Amino acid sequence: MKKTLFYIICPFVALIAATPFLPRPVHRAPSLSGHIVVSQDTIEPEDTSILNFANELAYYFSRHNVQDEGYEMVAAFADGKRLEVKASPYISALNVGTWKNRQRQGTGVALDSLGRTVVGTFQADTLTTGIRLDSTGTYRGDFVRLAAQGHGAYQHFNGSYFEGHWESDLRHGFGLEMQNPLGSEPRLRVGEWLSNRFWGERMRYTTERIYGIDIARYQHEQGRRRYPIDWSKMRITFLGKKSHKNVKGNADYPVSFVFIKSTEGVTIRNRYYASDYHQARKHGIRTGAYHFWRTKLGGAQQARFFLRNTLFGKGDLPPVLDVEPSDAQIRAAGGPEAMFRQIRTWLRMVEQHTGVKPILYINQRFVNMYLPVAPDIKRDYRVWIARYGEYKPDVRLAFWQLCPDGRVAGIRPEVDINVFNGYQTQFDEFLEQETIK
């Protein structure tokens, strides 16, 4: 039986019909209650690229709102309002340009030092805007001395698209890139480029975001000093000083969730875990537990130790496996493949016991260097990324640990501050779908 597939996406995403990459149009229904309803009868296998493209944009809009840098650019792109960068059909009809006082003036054609054809508008023999063709695609936008400089867009022949700021023919500044739009894994990147390298999205911290903390024995002890936590005063007041944070107003956020260290290896227990767990739940803070991974020990041993010493109540956050070994420790454990075999064992055993998929806590370097060895883990488990720079991690994630030196009212020592990847609607969905039943 044929079924009709409906997408209900944010008001800007009339993307399937509006995007020139896509192989055939899809009919759009009128706006309904502020949303656009896009429907298509019978999705054929060859149409999966359309769905992948739509889902990539829909994911972006589900995790951002109008206060985020670049939101309006992505909305315009999704709605088909992008710079048209296809080669002009009138190029062959143009002459080499109009000259005045031995200077090109108005529309003309030129070759740059690399032999690329440029068609554009000249003022006093200087190209200001135009179109340039090369062996891989077409650029349209601003120029300075025949080099892309200012705002412009590049359309690759494979369909990939970049729009943003350029300097000296390099992507440099804020921009939007859609890679592999017709492939099985299209990828949208929005953020800052420096000399053609993507650095990431600068997050804007507002009261609308969902913040939390993670704590261990360190928040109670420093040397011989002991510090009680005053759970009634819990409030995030500072996002750390290790990197610049784009904070709207002053940081003053409620603690919406807390992850508490429970165990490490097969012998170490956090003596404050149980009391912190009960206090957090008493004060209405969503609570989860994490286990610190030891590469020299087996996954089954560590899973049993964690499960034996950890509390799991209804509504608790998924358990977390904290994996942060050095390269030397990974080598000593037999290499990445051997390490991931043990990690899979821990994840499976904990999931079977709790009924929810655990979260993997790792850093950005681990994501780049080692996670590709375990594509099943990357695909099947949510990740919590530690990255203390200015830019948001360039990976889909559940939580981002943005600093290790934050301040929280009610806690004397410094605290790790985390932010959920999304807003209240997505957090509510996460709590409904991913917490312990």
Q: Is residue 322 part of a domain?
A: yes
Distance from C-alpha of 396 to C-alpha of 423, rounded to nearest angstrom = 15
- Which of 144, 167, 202 is a domain's end point? 202
What's the CATH number where 297 sits?
3.20.20.80
Yes or no: say if 161 and 155 are a contact pair by the CB < 8 Å rule.
yes
Give percent of the chain with pLDDT exceeding 70: 84
Is 324 in contact with 349 (CB distance < 8 Å)? no
Residue 393 confidence (pLDDT): 83
pLDDT given for residue 99 in this prediction: 59
pLDDT given for residue 415 in this prediction: 98
Q: What is the pLDDT of residue 57?
A: 86
Is residue 303 a part of any domain in this protein? yes
Q: Which of 175, 202, 229 is the last residue of a domain?
A: 202
Give the pLDDT confidence of 230-289 residue by residue, as tens digits: 999 999 999 999 888 889 889 999 999 999 999 999 999 999 999 999 999 999 999 999
Q: What is the mean pLDDT of each run of 10 residues along the chain (437 residues)?
A: 35 35 32 32 55 84 87 84 55 47 73 84 82 91 91 93 96 95 88 94 92 98 93 97 87 97 98 98 98 97 98 98 97 96 98 98 94 94 92 87 96 97 96 97
- The one-character DSSP state at 89 is T
For residue 96, what is the domain's CATH number? 2.20.110.10
Q: Residue 9 is encoded by which pair of tokens?
A: 């996406």
**Same domain for 283 and 416:** yes
- Per-residue pLDDT at 97: 53
Q: What is the pTM of this model?
A: 0.81
Same domain, 198 and 208: no
15 within 8 A of 78, measured Cβ to Cβ: yes
Residue 273 shares a structural domain with residue 392: yes
Let me know whether 44 and 101 are in one domain: no
Is the domain of 221 the same as that of 132?
no
- Cα–Cα distance, 134 to 132 (Å, whole number): 7
Q: Which amino acid is at 278?
A: H
Looking at the structure, do residues 353 and 223 belong to the same domain, yes or no?
yes
The answer to whether position 143 is within a domain reads: yes
The domain in which residue 164 lies consists of 91-202
Residue 17 lies in a domain: yes
Residue 279 CA, distance from chain mean position: 32
302 & 255 share domain: yes
Contacts with 146 (C-beta within 8 Å, 6 or more apart), sequence order: 110, 112, 113, 118, 127
What pLDDT shows up at residue 251? 94
Query: 128-159: b or e for each residue (b if 16 or more CB lie within 10 Å)?
Result: eebbbbeeebbbbbbbeebbbbebbbbbeeeb
Residues 176 and 226 occupy one common structural domain: no
Determine, yes or no, domain membership for 360.
Answer: yes
Query: Using CA atoms, how far apart are residues 279 and 15, in angstroms rounded to an integer?
Result: 47
Instruction: Please report which helix (H) or strand (E) contains residue 268, including its range.
Output: strand 268-269
Among 14, 47, 78, the domain-final residue is 78
pLDDT for the residue 217 = 97
pLDDT given at position 101: 65
Closest to 79 in 3D by CA, of 88, 71, 69 = 71
Cα gap 113→282, rounded to integer Å: 70
- For the chain, the domain total comes to 3
In a shared domain, residues 227 and 300:
yes
In a domain, 83, yes or no: no
**Within this chain, do residues 236 and 138 fall inside the same structural domain, yes or no?**
no
Cα within 13 Å of Cα(272), Cβ side: 17
Instruction: Name residue 190's beta-bridge partners.
Output: 176
Considering the domain architecture, whether residues 287 and 371 belong to the same structural domain is answered as yes
For residue 104, give the 3-state DSSP assignment: strand
